[in-house]
Amino acid sequence: MGLSESMKVLADPVRRQIIEKLKSGPKTAGEIADSFELTNATVSYHLKLLKKAGFIAEMKDKNFIYYSLNSTVFEDILTWIYQVGGKKHDE
């Protein structure tokens, strides 16, 4: 919810890679886990943090859980960076 939580979540490379993977559309927890050399349990832990921070949403279907990207949450971070003096993206 807060900026610390959002940024902490994005600070981990595994979690950023999960987000990048979801850019191409929803994926099951298993599909996501397959792209890492980590156990499903560990990936599940990262998915939980991403979900808690609002970066992804989950949707159950059969015994699969699909995760998808929720890009609106990035707004707060952008706002903070602008406020602090980051340049405009296209200048």
**Dihedrals phi, psi of 37, to nearest 5 degrees:** -90, 55
* From 9-17, 32-40, 42-50, 56-64, span contacting a second copy (CB under 8 A): 9-17
CB of 35 to a second copy, least distance (A): 16
Read off the tokens for 49. Answer: 């943090």
Q: Do strands 64-69 and 27-28 pair parallel, antiparallel, or not at all (unpaired)?
A: antiparallel
Pick from DNA, a second copy, none: which does 52 bind, CB < 5 to 8 A by kind?
A: none
Q: Cα(17)–Cα(69) distance, rounded to whole angstroms?
A: 12
Q: Using the rule CB under 8 A, is 86 a contact of a second copy?
A: yes
Q: Which of 23, 25, 41, 88 binds DNA (CB under 7 A)?
A: 41
